[in-house]
Amino acid sequence: MHRIAFSSLFIVMSFLILISQSIVLVHANIPIRSDSNLKIMNLDDTIYSEKLDTPSIDINDNQSSDIELVGIVTKVVDGDTLDINGIRIRLALVDTPEINQPGYDLAKQFLESLCLGKKGELDVDSGQRRGDRHGREIGVVYCDGINTNEKLMSNNLARILVQFCDITEFANENWTITQCQGNK
């Protein structure tokens, strides 16, 4: 009986060692920027060769090639803040109602339906590269190829933070240009 238990334990341990070595080898070749822990994507990374199989969803054809972080959206904090791979992200230029304000639940639920548990891609705002006062990255987030910043605006769940129009790289996007140009 002890011999069978020992053999089973040996097989399980060998399997776990093999799996952990595979994970280490896979992740050993992923470059990480030390200043913000963002994964740097190269054009030859497999994420760029994926084809989205969602013809019924409105996909933004103007998706940026400046994607710096790719992962799963693990948490939606509110209508304009979410986490990808544990990294907190504030959606650039988009402002949704705060907790206990009218529209808060609707904006948060909308963002959850677009993103939670799905592939998220972050295009960091080069004009706000240092993040915000809360340590969050700032940018446009694409969930399964959909520009969430734009979708919140087109569904009247957010407003543009016009005070950031002069520093953001996204001031001339279709979803921001009217309000950003009108602010000058």
Predicted confidence (pLDDT) at residue 62 exceeds the cutoff of 80: no
Q: Do residue 70 and residue 141 come from a single domain?
A: yes
Predicted confidence (pLDDT) at residue 112 exceeds the cutoff of 60: yes
CA separation for the pair 82, 142 (Å, rounded): 12
Q: Do residue 17 and residue 63 come from a single domain?
A: no
Q: Do residue 9 and residue 68 come from a single domain?
A: no
Q: Is 82 helix (H, G, I), strand (E, B) or coil?
A: strand
Tens of pLDDT along 140-180? 999 999 999 999 999 999 999 999 999 999 999 999 999 99
Per-position DSSP letters for 70-105, written without gaps between them:
EEEEEEEEETTEEEETTEEEEETTEE-PPTTSTTHH
Q: Do residue 121 and residue 154 come from a single domain?
A: yes
Tens of pLDDT along 13-41? 665 565 555 444 434 444 433 334 444 33
Give pLDDT, residue 135: 81
Number of domains in the chain: 2
Banded pLDDT at 183 (limits 50, 70, 90): low
Q: Do residue 149 and residue 166 come from a single domain?
A: yes
Q: Do residue 25 and residue 40 come from a single domain?
A: no
- CA-CA-CA-CA torsion for 61, 74, 70, 99, nearest 10 degrees? 60
pTM: 0.65
Per-chain mean pLDDT for the chain: 76
| Residue length of the chain | 184
Q: Do residue 37 and residue 117 come from a single domain?
A: yes
Q: Do residue 20 and residue 101 come from a single domain?
A: no
Q: Do residue 11 and residue 52 come from a single domain?
A: no
For residue 77, what are the domain limits? Answer: 31-182
